[in-house]
Amino acid sequence: MSHSKTQKAKLVRSFKNGSEYTASQIASRFGVANPTAMINFLRRDGYAIYANEVTNSLGQTYTKYRLGRPTRHMVAAGFALLGASAAGLTH
User: Is the residue at 26 inside a domain?
Assistant: yes
What's the average model confidence in pLDDT over 19-36? 96
Parent domain of 59: 5-86
Q: How far apart are CA 38 and CA 4, in angstroms?
A: 10
User: Is the residue at 91 inside a domain?
Assistant: no
CA angle at 8 for the pair 74 and 66, rounded to the nearest 5°: 45
User: Is the residue at 57 inside a domain?
Assistant: yes
Beta bridge partner(s), residue 63: 53
User: Is the residue at 37 inside a domain?
Assistant: yes
**pLDDT digit string (tens) for 48-81?**
999 999 999 999 999 999 999 988 888 788 888 8
- What's the helix, strand, coil split of the chain in %, to 5? 50, 15, 35
Rg, Å, the chain Cα set: 15
35 CB neighbour count, 10 Å cutoff: 19
Domain of 17: which CATH number?
1.10.10.10
Per cent of the chain over pLDDT 70 is 88
- Does position 28 have pLDDT exceeding 60, yes or no? yes
pTM equals 0.77
* pLDDT for 1: 47
